[in-house]
Amino acid sequence: MDMSFLAGKRILVGDDDMEVSALLLNILEMAGAKATVAHSGGEVLRLAAESPPDLVFLDVMMPGIDGCGVLLSLRGEAATARVPVIMVTGRVEPSLTEILKGLGAFAVLNKPFRLDECVDSARRALGGGAA
């Protein structure tokens, strides 16, 4: 699976689940991305404000400010308004997917997600087209 499109991209992973964030971090770093992990909504917002990423993977259920609140805040700031956000959730509800996309999410991945789903979503979000 070609992941070279991730090389050099700044990607922010916001997830309080240590296993999920470690998995995403490993995948992204193996592909050459400059990945950073945040474990709370406030930390995601702080890191995104300091250095706007090229892409954000964001868990819906986060301590402090939840993923929906973070997404709305990112969309409300000029520096991050256009940064693609891929929401990650353990809740498999079509209505939640529609709500998240309505709030400005680029895509929604349901946990547990497969590597190819993660990579394909990132490729599309970064303008790389289909695999």
Predicted confidence (pLDDT) per residue in 78-123, tens digit: 999 999 999 999 887 878 899 999 999 999 999 888 888 999 999 9
**Inside any domain, residue 22:** yes
d(CA 108, CA 59): 10
CATH number of the domain encompassing residue 68: 3.40.50.2300
Confirm whether 70 is domain-assigned.
Answer: yes
Q: List, for residues 20-72, the tens digit of each pLDDT value.
A: 899 899 989 988 999 999 999 999 999 999 999 999 999 999 989 999 999 99
In a domain, 131, yes or no: no
- Does a structural domain hold residue 90? yes
The total of structural domains in the chain comes to 1
Strand arrangement, sheet containing 10-14: 34-38, 10-14, 55-59, 85-89, 107-110
Domain of 99?
4-125
Half-sphere exposure of 88 (CA within 13 A, CB side): 23
pTM for the full predicted model: 0.93
Residue 26 lies in a domain: yes
- Asked if residue 40 belongs to a domain, the reply is yes
Query: Is residue 57 a part of any domain in this protein?
Result: yes
The verdict on residue 130 lying in a domain is no
